[in-house]
Chains A and B, each alone.
Chain A
Amino acid sequence: QVQLVDSGGGLVKPGGSLRLSCAASGFTFSDYYMGWIRQAPGKGLEWISYISSVGRSVYYADSVKGRFTISRDNAKYSLFLQMNSLRAGDTAVYYCARGRLFGEPTFDYWGQGSLVTVSS
């Protein structure tokens, strides 16, 4: 069965960096676009980034452009989010999610989420 396992969250100081990972299994990872969506405490969903199946195309929300980098390793069935210059407003649960077939950016499977807390 399809499984996405998020990891790498934690407490980081403002201006710091963190790298999130998402381990995928149960499907052919290289066939699917993948994305990151976050949810601040008690708030709604915010799309962050999306990457094509072979990693050639990447997309970012303006709120993270230039600070966050999405990448993937298809051989290792892994998705990553490198987060630099972190701010208090980046505090959230970060979910990796699988895009539906053919790159349609709706998300049919989600990881359990990884909590990132940015605080001094």
Chain B
Amino acid sequence: EIVMTQSPATLSVSPGARATLSCRASQSVSNNLAWYQQKPGQAPRLLIYGASTRDTGVPARFSGSGSGTEFTLTISSLQSEDFAVYYCQQYNSWPPLTFGGGTKVEIK
């Protein structure tokens, strides 16, 4: 089973600032990596798949990068609606599909 590790667990960022979230895989997942956003009381929302492709309707301030075992989600200028929990998910070797533990982005 591929273990996904996200860091940091919590990220405190000021509105308008840049946020950088990390996701590490225990073995290579190539570029088969997705990112999701989850707000309190809501279902997750797919942001990025294929490590760097934004899903339909996702704002351009969200960008994904990386391959192999190291991945990054960058939010270029945080808006109020971006404060949420973000999860990465690998789909290179499955089952099982595995998610990271999440990074909470909170207002500084």
Interface residues of A (CB under 8 A from B): 35, 37, 44-47, 50, 59-62, 95, 97, 100, 104-108, 110-113
Complex formed: what's the CA distance from A107 to B89 in Å? 10
Q: Are A61 and B96 in contact (CB under 8 A)?
A: yes
* Chain B positions 18-61 with a Cβ under 8 Å from a chain A Cβ: 34, 36, 38, 43-46, 49, 55-56
B95: chain A residues at CB < 8 Å are 47, 50, 59-61
Other-chain contact of A111, B43, B87, B102 (Cβ < 8 Å): B43
Interface residues of B (CB under 8 A from A): 34, 36, 38, 43-46, 49, 55-56, 87, 89, 91, 94-102
Q: Are A110 and B43 in contact (CB under 8 A)?
A: yes
Q: Are A106 and B49 in contact (CB under 8 A)?
A: yes
Chain A CB count within 10 A is highest, among B87, B97, B101, for B97
Q: Are A108 and B55 in contact (CB under 8 A)?
A: yes
Q: Are B99 and A46 in contact (CB under 8 A)?
A: yes
Q: Are B98 and A47 in contact (CB under 8 A)?
A: yes
Q: Are B99 and A45 in contact (CB under 8 A)?
A: yes
B102: chain A residues at CB < 8 Å are 44-45
Ranked nearest first, the 6 interchain pairs of A and B with the lowest CB-CB distance are A110-B43, A47-B97, A106-B34, A45-B99, A59-B95, A105-B91
Q: Are B43 and A45 in contact (CB under 8 A)?
A: no
Closest to B95 in A: A59
Q: Are A112 and B43 in contact (CB under 8 A)?
A: yes
Q: Are A44 and B87 in contact (CB under 8 A)?
A: yes
